[in-house]
Structure 1
Amino acid sequence: MLITVSGPAGSGKSTLAAGLSDALGYEHVSGGDIFRSLAEERGVSLVEFNELAEEDDQIDRDLDQRLRTTAREGDDIVLESRLAGWMAGDYADLRLWLDAPLDARAARIADREEKPVAQVREETRTRTESEAQRYEEYYGIDIDDRSIYDLTLNTARWSADACLSLVLDAADAYDPESDEGAYAVEGVRYEF
């Protein structure tokens, strides 16, 4: 089974994906890990690679290609990134979208990065707008379109353990043989 975990910064993607992979015995593949791997391959630091990515759209495209390849070739994987649900396309069995209000996400990031919440809130808002513009420009993806996701969770409503429990219940109830309620989503598989 391929499970994708997507959502904006601070939504709890990494926490949930790690918990899912542990509970299910699946491999956890993170877009952040792939990004670090790409930086390593180019022999640059993460800071330098981030700066390069702002000027070179091929970096985002390389990351997304690795996500697609992982989805196409892997089995029993939790694939985590903002675009994992889109990049996995028809290969995904269960697509999850995590979200929380900006203030909750900013507080989580501020705590993790030891920065002032107001600063993180503005950085996160700016980053979200920039990413949405790039996704639309690169792939024609409207990141606010939730129609491809099987389950959407507001992670500000439940603890990390409760979110994991909800998703594990959904994964357990997943029936790949069921056609009930199934439908095709046009434009989900991308060829780049």
Structure 2
Amino acid sequence: MLITVSGPAGSGKSTAAAALAEALGYEHVSGGDIFRALAADRGLTALELNRLAEEDDEIDRDLDRRQRALARERDDVVLESRLAGWMAGDHADLRLWLDAPPAVRAARIADREEKPIDVAREETRERAASEALRYREYYGIDIEDRSIYDLALNTARIDPDGMVDVLVTFVEAYAPGHDEGKVPIEGVRYEF
């Protein structure tokens, strides 16, 4: 089974995806880890690489190609990134969206990256705007469109263990073969 976990920065998607993969005995693949490694390799922050990606579409396209290949080639994977649900396309069995209010996400990022909350808030806002612009331009994706997701969860008031319990319960309740309600992904341009 291929499960995608998507959501904005600070939503808890990395924590949840890793714990969900562990609970299910699946492999966890993180688009964010790949992106941060690419930034570090270039001596840049994630925000700086995001800005560079606005001018060099090969940065995003390379990451997205990798996600689509993983979705086609592997089983029993939790694929996690902002676009994982979109990039996995019809290969995804379940698409999960995690979110939290901007103030909660900024506080989490500030804590994780040891920076002032106002800096985290502004960087997160800029990064989200940059990414939304690129997703629409490259692929025709409206990142605010939640219609492809099987579950959308506000993580603001759920601790990590509770979040994983909810997700595992949802995955266990999933009935393979019951795709009548599955929303096909149409109108997305996968131009790599």
Note whether the superposition's TM-score is higher than 0.5.
Answer: yes
Quote the Cα distance in structure 2 between the aligned partners of 1:101 and 1:66.
29
Quote the Cα distance in structure 1 between the aligned partners of 2:134 and 2:148.
19
Quote the Cα distance in structure 1 between the aligned partners of 2:153 and 2:11.
9
Q: Summarize the alignment of residues 1-192 of structure 1 with structure 2, pairs less than 5 Å apart.
A: 1-35=1-35, 44-47=42-45, 50=49, 52-179=52-179, 181-187=180-186, 190-192=189-191
Quote the Cα distance in structure 2 between the aligned partners of 1:133 and 1:82.
13
SS in 2 for 1:153: strand
Aligned residues of 2:138 and 2:189 also touching (Cα < 8 A)? no
What stretches of structure 2 of length at least 5 have no aligned partner?
none
SS in 2 for 1:18: helix
What's the Cα RMSD here? 2.1
- % identity of equivalent residues: 66
Matched AA of 1:104:
V
Quote the Cα distance in structure 2 between the aligned partners of 1:185 and 1:28.
24
Quote the Cα distance in structure 1 between the aligned partners of 2:124 and 2:39.
22
Shift of 1:190: 5.0
- Between stretches 127-136 and 46-55, larger displacement belongs to 46-55
Matched AA of 1:133:
L
- From the superposition, tell whether residues 106 and 36 of structure 1 become closer, same or farther in structure 2 (CA, over 3 Å): closer
Aligned residues of 2:7 and 2:98 also touching (Cα < 8 A)? yes
Q: Deviations over 1:45-86 (max 9, x none)?
A: 454982643431111001001000000111000000000000
- Between stretches 138-147 and 30-39, larger displacement belongs to 30-39
What stretches of structure 1 of length at least 5 have no aligned partner?
none
- From the superposition, tell whether residues 108 and 66 of structure 1 become closer, same or farther in structure 2 (CA, over 3 Å): same
Matched AA of 1:185:
P
Aligned residues of 1:4 and 1:79 also touching (Cα < 8 A)? yes
Q: Deviations over 1:82-131 (max 9, x none)?
A: 00000001000010000000000000000111111112111111111111
TM-score norm. by structure 1 comes to: 0.90
Aligned residues of 1:148 and 1:188 also touching (Cα < 8 A)? no
Aligned length in residues: 189
Aligned residues of 2:90 and 2:185 also touching (Cα < 8 A)? no
- From the superposition, tell whether residues 169 and 2 of structure 1 become closer, same or farther in structure 2 (CA, over 3 Å): same
SS in 2 for 1:149: coil
TM-score norm. by structure 2 comes to: 0.90
Quote the Cα distance in structure 1 between the aligned partners of 2:188 and 2:76.
20
